[in-house]
Every structure is written in structure tokens, then in C-alpha cells.
Structure 1
């Protein structure tokens, strides 16, 4: 049986990484999520998530949303460009069922995967 856990290399863990996302990141949004992203100096996609108490007071509901975020990223990580991203749940996410959240996350990650990064090696400046 394989682990459903994200490897440490695929997670944002350092405070400096979060600070950089706060300073110089772009954002994309969907109905239930916002992703702040920037070029990853690590050379591969890394993710963190934020589901605040404002989204739902129940930890069970917040953890359900976090599981959906992790699963969506884990399934698509191999096809993602080298981005550091912070996926933030909107308050509307708590009322949505898992299928709706999964579809919304798939759309968000597909849009992120389609980005042409200026800092990516081998691309021309433009």
C-alpha cells in the first residue's frame, strides 16, 4: 500500500518560503479556492494549504477540505511546473461536497499547470 502523504520535498515548510509567497506572488482563484504562487527555486512543485476557522468552526470540516487539497495536488504534482503555491480555502468551500471541491481543485491546478513561467529554465525572456 502506498502512502497518501505528500513527501517533505513537495511541501512548503520554511517561514521564508511563506514570506516570499506573501511578498511577490501572483494569485489565481476559483469559486472555493485561491492559490498564491511563484516560481520555485527548488525546481519542482511544492504546496502548502490554509483552511482557517473562518471557513468552518468544526475541525472535522476543515480537515475534510485539507484532505481534498492534498489529494488533488498529490495526484497532479508530477505534471505541475516548478511552482511554490499556497492554496487557501474560501468560506464557500465548507458548504460544498467532496465531488464539487475535487472538481474545483482540478480546475485550479489545471490552470496553474498551464502557466508559462518567466523564470523557467530554457525559456526566452519576453
Structure 2
């Protein structure tokens, strides 16, 4: 079990990292998930999860979605650019099968690309 664990440096842990993704980031959406992503200064892609009670009141449902999101990220991590990714679930994720959720996350993670750096005038080019 330990060999498949997500390493500490591949997770978003600080509140400032989450806040940065909520303000200036790229967005991708699907039926069940919304992904926000932005460049980072570390040598690997990092994952953050924000699965709220609005998605489901039951902790067992939220934990299932988190496990599936971590698994999809674990599979795609080698091919991802050096970005931070925040995964948020929609209400419809609770009703979907695990295979459907993994397929959607795989598709969204393949679309993630690094954002262009800030220009001379301080704006972010996309």
C-alpha cells in the first residue's frame, strides 16, 4: 500500500497555495468536476482537493470521490507539466460510477497545460 501512496511533495498543503489557485488560474470543467490549475516553482505537479459538503452531506461519498481523484492524479502525474491542480467536485459526482469519474478526471488531466507567465504590464497571458 505504501508504494502507491502520493508523496508529500505532490500534495498542496498550505492555505496560500489553495488561495492562489482560486484567484489566478486556468479552469477546466466537466460534468462532475471542476479543475483549477496554475504554474508552480517545484519540479513536480501537485494536487489539492476541495470536496465540500455541498457535493454530499455523507463523508463516505466525499471520501470516495477524493480516493478516485488521487488515483487519477497518481496515474497521470508523470505526464503532467509542473502545475498545481485543485480538484472540486460537483453534485453529480456522487451519482456516477467510479469508472465514469476516473474517465472524466483522466480526460481533464490530459488537457492541463502550463499557463503563460506574467507579461511586462503585470497581466497574465493565457
TM-score by length of structure 1 reads: 0.87
Does the residue aligned with 1:86 lie in a helix, a strand or coil? strand
Q: CA deviation at 1:116?
A: 5.1
Displacement, 1:81? Answer: 0.3
Which runs of structure 1 show a deviation greater than 6 angstroms over 4 or more consecutive aligned residues?
none
- Assess if the C-alpha contact under 8 Å between 2:65 and 2:93 holds in 1: yes
Q: Distance in 2 between matches of 1:90 and 1:14?
A: 23
Count of residue pairs the alignment pairs up: 119
1:69 Cα offset (Å): 0.0
C-alpha distance after superposition, 1:40-64 (max 9, x if no partner): 1113200111111111111111111
The correspondence of residues 1-126 of structure 1 with structure 2, limited to 5 A, is: 2-112=2-112, 115=113, 117-119=115-117
- What runs of 5+ residues in structure 2 fail to find an aligned partner? 118-124
Distance 1:7 1:67 in 2: 15
Structure 1: where are the runs of 5+ without partners?
Answer: 120-124
Give 3-state SS (helix, strand or coil) of 2:43's partner. Answer: coil
- Structure 1 vs Structure 2 CA RMSD: 1.8
